[in-house]
A and B are shown apart, each in its own frame.
Chain A
Amino acid sequence: MIYIDEFRDARLVRSVAEEIRRSVTRPWVIMEICGGQTHAILQHGLDQLLPPEIELVHGPGCPVCVTSLELIDKAIAIASRPDVIFTSFGDMLRVPGSRGDLFSVRASGRQVRVVYSPLDAVKIAQENPDKQVVFFAIGFETTAPPNAMSVIQAKALGLQNFSLLVSHVCVPPAMHAILSSPTNRVQGFLAAGHVCTVMGYWEYVPIAQQYRVPIVVTGFEPLDLLQGVLSCVRLLEAGESTVENAYPRAVTYEGNLAAQALIQRVFRPVDRNWRGIGPIAMSGLGLREEFAFYDAERRFDVGDIKTQESTVCIAGQVLQGVKKPPQCPAFGSLCTPENPLGATMVSSEGACAAYYRYART
């Protein structure tokens, strides 16, 4: 398959792995930001091809994982209303809130629907004028443009019964938070290719300069990932703190300007609480005042939400690259994909789920 097979070519992959071995002279800690990359690394067994000097740690780039418990509880409260059709990407339905998840809301007879695009939710709102249709707008900069488009469409259609429960987060503030943490171990980054497809990589240049870390824009196929590691290792070995693009077939410096303009038009930067990490100033996106009508948090008064996190789950440390999933006492015993204590065990981008699925020994 074009764009797939050539980037999974075993011979090429091994030759890049060999090149990494030749380039490395001492230990380095590299963080892949995106959970999709974490899964690809473990799914293909790429970590086994790397020399022992390279330690890959897994970043916070899992939208499901970092969505705050408070917002999940709000989602559950809104979805539990009889006048609401709650729509969401599938992954979000299994994430545990303080008491139960969205699947259990559906099982108790409320309308919770999996959609594949926020525009499907707009369509549901058109077809069900007597119901309030809420879309759970989660994700990084990758999902922000279609979510922005859904609001613009709803407005153009004059829909009164559509709203977004917004939980958008942005990558650069999270990198600042990780790099300025006293426990930080990360020396180089693989930036998330999908996010950069939208945003470009101009945002990362000041970060690389400020913290003296190399950042390499990296794709998701085995060859992409190893190419990203190789570029990062070369920069680390040479002591260079620049931004390189190892995913040029999808990413440009400027990014997708039309998509960025759409984000700008509908959203504004807001403070956001990251599950497991805590509050990060100006790290999220919220609806602009002009679109406040479509804000589900304003439309539905769900009262005081008292959140209750699991006391054993170490998802926060996993998301910051401080600990690996198997270091959690609950991993694989109390906490499994069927009975997750934290979101990192749920999502197809969560690090704990990746270790559980692919790397249990």
Chain B
Amino acid sequence: MTDTRADFEGAVCPVPLSHKDQIVIGHGSGGKMTHDLIKGVFHSRLSNPALLAGNDAATLTLPPGARLEGRLAISTDSHIVSPLFFPGGDIGRLAVSGTVNDVCTSGAIPLFLTAGFILEEGLPVETLERVAQSMADTAAEAGVEVVAGDTKVVEKGKADGLFINTAGVGWIPAGREIGGELARPGDVILLSGPIGDHGIAVLAARGQLGLETNIQSDVAPLNGLIHSLLAAAPHTHVLRDPTRGGLATTLNEIAVQSNVCLWLEEAAVPVRPEVRAVCELLGFDPLYIANEGKLVAVVPPEEADAALAAMRSHPLGNQAVQVGEVRADPQRRALLHTSIGGTRVLDMLAGEMLPRIC
């Protein structure tokens, strides 16, 4: 507050600094600094009546036509990513998309989100503003509102800049049954586009590999794509977004939940050449790399063509392909038919993925 001080001559009581530029412990006090931060950074961007009401809980109006029919879906997800900004996205877009995708892959129409922020002392407020703006933009893209939030500050060194937890609520219209346990032998497995973009984009952005790439993260809310898909294929059995652990892990989860075998054709799985090149160099398998804007859909064979056409007509699914099928198998596993004609188990990722030595 140098401008305030300039009004006085000589020695005066020290006026507290305003700390408008970076996060300090006081921003988590719950007092005026907290309120100013919330008002300045969040309310100005994520504005809606429920949030602006300023109560401890948001009270929400049911969507038109809900009339207590159908079910509610609720999900929560904590987001940590380093760096906070990476090619194709940032932690804000990730925090909104991640929870929107968890909600909408249950078949729900996502409606409302909450956001909890853990800020590390010293975080530039400008960074927080950029993240909040990105959350607002992504929420608008997904058609959801952030209606409640919380902010805590931890001491320098106790967090990596900024962590965001988001929770989301969505409405599942009556009659819609989608779940990981519903895959049936004969179903077709569809994938909305090339895999591995997010994981490799973030890895490259960390700058430890000495690699320069143009790979952009695919982070995006998938509810629009799912809306198009379900309009064309209303009897879709399973929807999943293959995030951490990649496509291989997602297929294993479905196999176990549904007591079936998921059969994947290696040659059919799209991977961008840049992503493949990085994976070849480091000894990674793209099937285990994280995605944040891809959709796996397991649909009955009679709706497969319509589902694929609908996915391809949406910008986020224009490279959608059939990558495999569901088979009966008491062993509940994913099998990979390799490009050269062999067949092998496609296991879940065990532990941390580590680059090879030579």
Contacts and interface: CB of A to CB of B under 8 A. Distances in A.
Question: A and B bound?
Answer: yes
Interface of A: 1, 4, 8, 10, 13-14, 36, 42-49, 63-64, 89-91, 93-94, 114, 116-117, 120, 138-140, 142-143, 194, 222, 336-338, 347-349, 356-361
Given A63-B357, A91-B354, A45 B273 contact: no
Interface string B320-358: 000000000000000000111111110100111011111
Most chain A CB atoms below 10 A, which of B267, B273, B351, B358: B358
Contact of A44 (B277, B283, B338): B338
A66 to B, nearest CB: 12
B347 A36 contact: no
Given A8-B339, A44-B338, A222-B340, A194 B356 contact: no
A349 B356 contact: yes
B337 to A, nearest CB: 8
A47 B343 CA distance: 10
Contacts of A349: 356-357
Given A357-B345, A360-B345, A13 B358 contact: no
B133 to A, nearest CB: 34
Contacts of B209: 116
A117 B340 CA distance: 33
Given A44-B340, A116-B210, A358 B345 contact: yes
A28 to B, nearest CB: 20
B356 A91 contact: yes
B280 to A, nearest CB: 6
A46 B280 contact: no
Contact of B341 (A4, A10, A138, A359): A10
Interface of B: 208-210, 267, 273, 276-277, 280, 283, 285, 338-345, 347, 350-352, 354-358
Which 3 A-B residue pairs are closest in the complex by CB-CB distance? A45-B342, A90-B354, A337-B350
A324 B5 CA distance: 79
Contacts of B350: 336-338
Contacts of B354: 89-91, 93-94, 114, 348
B358 A194 contact: yes
Contacts of B267: 10
A64 B357 contact: yes
Nearest to B266: A44
Given A116-B210, A348-B283, A45 B357 contact: no
Nearest to A62: B357
Contacts of A44: 338-340, 342
Contacts of B344: 42-43, 45, 358-359
A4 B280 contact: yes
Contacts of A90: 352, 354-355
Given A139-B358, A348-B283, A45 B338 contact: yes
26 contacts: A1-B273, A10-B339, A10-B341, A36-B356, A43-B344, A44-B339, A46-B342, A47-B342, A48-B342, A48-B343, A49-B340, A49-B342, A89-B354, A91-B356, A93-B354, A94-B352, A116-B209, A139-B358, A336-B350, A347-B357, A348-B357, A349-B356, A349-B357, A357-B345, A359-B345, A360-B347
Nearest to B358: A142
Contacts of A49: 340-342
A94 B351 contact: yes
A120 B355 CA distance: 15
Nearest to B284: A348
A89 B283 CA distance: 13
A228 to B, nearest CB: 15
A80 to B, nearest CB: 20
A249 B342 CA distance: 26
A143 B358 contact: yes
A348 B345 contact: no
Nearest to B354: A90
Contacts of A45: 338, 340-344
B347 A356 contact: yes
A13 B277 CA distance: 21
B56 to A, nearest CB: 37
A343 B26 CA distance: 49
A201 to B, nearest CB: 17
Given A1-B276, A336-B350, A358-B345, A8 B356 contact: no
B357 A91 contact: yes
A309 B267 CA distance: 42
B200 to A, nearest CB: 14
A36 B358 CA distance: 9
Nearest to B355: A90
Given A63-B357, A91-B354, A1 B277 contact: yes
A10 B339 CA distance: 6
B357 A89 contact: yes
A337 B358 contact: no
Contacts of A194: 358
B357 A143 contact: yes
Contacts of A336: 350
Given A48-B342, A89-B355, A90-B354, 8 more contacts: A43-B285, A44-B339, A91-B357, A120-B208, A222-B340, A348-B356, A358-B344, A358-B345
B280 A140 contact: no
A275 to B, nearest CB: 15
Contacts of B340: 8, 10, 13-14, 44-46, 49, 222
B341 A14 contact: yes
